[in-house]
Structure 1
Amino acid sequence: MYPTGALIVNLRPNTSPASYKHLTVCIKPFKDSAGANIYLEKTGELKLLVRDGDRSKVYCFGYDQGGLFIEATPQQDISRKITGFQYELMNKGIASDLHTVSAPCRPCSDTEVLLAVCTSDFVIRGSIQDVTNKAEEQESIIHVGVNKLYRQKSKVFQLTGESGNWRGQIKTLLECGVKPGDGDFLFTGRMHFGEARLGCAPRFKDFQRMYKEAKDKGLNPCEIGPD
């Protein structure tokens, strides 16, 4: 609050140091965060990560790339400024997480899909009812009608109205160009700062094929009903 000077923030996960190289750090500035620039700092070198007033994005970097250097910006008035952000740590050694961070628009391989089914925060079969594009935030909101709920860790997908249908929203990057269309998909993904973020999303018939092939060979990493 009323930021002045600078400080360094080093995140220390509750894991062994040997696992640090596999971690990705993501930070998301609070909506009203103001008064400071946030840099990535390593061995005295600074790289601008979040410019003061830029609050519309999530910024990710490898844990081994350095710590956070938070420096107050000169102010022309004495109004209250508060600099704050949320952070999350992800294991970039997990294929589904790596895909989400490094290449979110690339179709998942069969192996990535099968692993995502086992490790994702949510797994549902559903259809794309509508897509809302947020150009300013560079995001798309996918409005999903759920036909079968396999798993969810948060109540993102809920029963709506008297019809008893399950519905929910999933976010992804605008550049992925998601559009409404016919057919069912298997949606998987992670909860990221309280929001459902899209991971792998093959057409459901393709998932059935890859699941059956893996099961016949005894290579499926976990059991889930393909129907």
Structure 2
Amino acid sequence: MHTETVVYFWPVVLSLIYVAEAGMIGDQCDWTGSGLTSSAERGVTPVYLRCREGTVSWLYPRGALRLLLRPPLPADERDFNVCLRVIRRPDPPEFFHDLHFNYTEKAERFPARIFVEGARKLIPLYAPDDGDPRELRCFRSKRGRAALYVEAEPEEGPKRRVATFKYEARPLITRHYDPATADCRPCSDSELELAFCTSDLVSRVLIVGSDQREDLDSTQLTLRLTKILRAPVLDVDTDDLAHDNDYYKYSVDNEVGGGSGTLAHVQVWRGCGAAAGAGEFVAMARRRLGRLALVCAPRLAHWRALARRRAPHDTHCALRH
């Protein structure tokens, strides 16, 4: 974020808030609305987001949105960190069968600018032409408050435009290992147990590839799932995944470790220097901003030994290997 740029029309924004359209106020995790329902092109629609994470989708954006984020946090955790990820093109499927795919479509222009609301000014957070390729941007609350001002770009004909982004609010002090704040150290045994019981995907894996995702500020690991241990996100038949999607072209199926099986993508903060490696691991990943983020990945031998020596009544859930 370019903090040297400051927008000085904040008093005008305040005055526009009072002409916001009634009936478009949200008080939820997700918000979906259309600029076509607004009669004032320069009106500001207030939206109240009361959850830790969610999605905002603004169809045919006109005027502006003012998003007030007040996530439910413990009383002793007043301030929090907010990250948002603008969606400029569909993500690849997280679970698939062919190892390689090609990006065949350019990212669309995000039709809005996003500012963090300060005491007397708006601070730029994201703009389509700000020269920063990252679609992921973060900022901190001030005195327990965080608000965003989302300004629609001028309309260019009848083309369908959608400004969609995902947001996530996290306390500044984390109570257990967290991929958003981790320092790339290995998980302790107690963190492994908690991650196993609370992750969205837990599977024995082979790490068969790694790619830098500049847009997500991450390293994307490609995992071959050899034995799924916990996966509430896998409640669909992986054979029905969109292999014929016009955007993702699968072409090569490299067999690794004796079978093709199911593959998955997980994200790791790129500062950790994660890469493909030999051996079998137990990958534990949580969904974050629409993608799976790696939490812990012990070697199978270490996890197996830990799971065997832990008594069931001493763990958060039944540990499997």
TM-score range, shorter chain: 0.7 to 0.9
Gapped runs of 5+ residues in structure 1?
none
Partner in structure 1 of residue 112 of structure 2? 36
Over the aligned positions, Cα root-mean-square deviation in angstroms equals 3.7
Partner in structure 1 of residue 136 of structure 2? 58
Contact 2:210/2:221 (8 A) holds in 1? yes
Question: Does 1:223 find its partner at 2:280?
Answer: no
Contact 1:104/1:199 (8 A) holds in 2? no
In the TM superposition, 1:20-169 aligns within 5 A as: 21=78, 24-31=81-88, 32-53=108-129, 56-62=134-140, 64-72=144-152, 78=156, 82=161, 84-89=163-168, 92=171, 93-96=174-177, 99-103=178-182, 105-135=184-214, 137-155=216-234, 158=238, 165-169=261-265
Contact 2:133/2:214 (8 A) holds in 1? no
Shift of 1:198: 1.3
Q: Distance in 1 between matches of 2:65 and 2:287?
A: 29
Q: Distance in 2 between matches of 1:90 and 1:111?
A: 24
Shift of 1:114: 1.4
Counting helix residues as a fraction of each chain, which structure ranks higher?
Answer: 1
Structure 1 residues 219 and 45 mapped into 2: Cα distance closer, same or farther (>3 Å)?
farther
Contact 2:312/2:318 (8 A) holds in 1? no
Structure 1 residues 89 and 211 mapped into 2: Cα distance closer, same or farther (>3 Å)?
same
Contact 1:3/1:36 (8 A) holds in 2? no
Partner of 2:180, secondary structure, is helix
**Greater radius of gyration (CA):** 2
Q: TM-score by structure 1 length?
A: 0.74
Question: Does 1:8 find its partner at 2:77?
Answer: no
Contact 2:135/2:215 (8 A) holds in 1? no
Partner of 1:47, secondary structure, is strand
Partner of 2:319, secondary structure, is coil
In the TM superposition, 1:175-190 aligns within 5 A as: 175-190=271-286
Partner of 2:276, secondary structure, is coil
Deviates more, 1:185-194 or 1:45-54: 45-54
Q: Distance in 1 between matches of 2:279 and 2:164?
A: 39
Structure 1 residues 211 and 2 mapped into 2: Cα distance closer, same or farther (>3 Å)?
closer
Partner in structure 2 of residue 192 of structure 1? 288
Structure 1 residues 129 and 109 mapped into 2: Cα distance closer, same or farther (>3 Å)?
same
Aligned residue among 294, 302, 309 for 1:206:
302
Shift of 1:17: 8.1
Q: Distance in 1 between matches of 2:77 and 2:147?
A: 13
Structure 1 residues 66 and 11 mapped into 2: Cα distance closer, same or farther (>3 Å)?
closer
Gapped runs of 5+ residues in structure 2?
1-59, 89-107, 242-252, 254-258
Partner of 2:303, secondary structure, is helix
What percentage of residue pairs aligned between the two structures are identical?
24
Contact 2:281/2:299 (8 A) holds in 1? yes
Q: Distance in 1 between matches of 2:76 and 2:197?
A: 21
**Any idea what the Cα deviations from partners look like across 1:129-171, whole Å, max 9, x if unmatched?**
222334565432222122210111223994799x572322222
Q: Distance in 2 between matches of 1:222 and 1:3?
A: 49
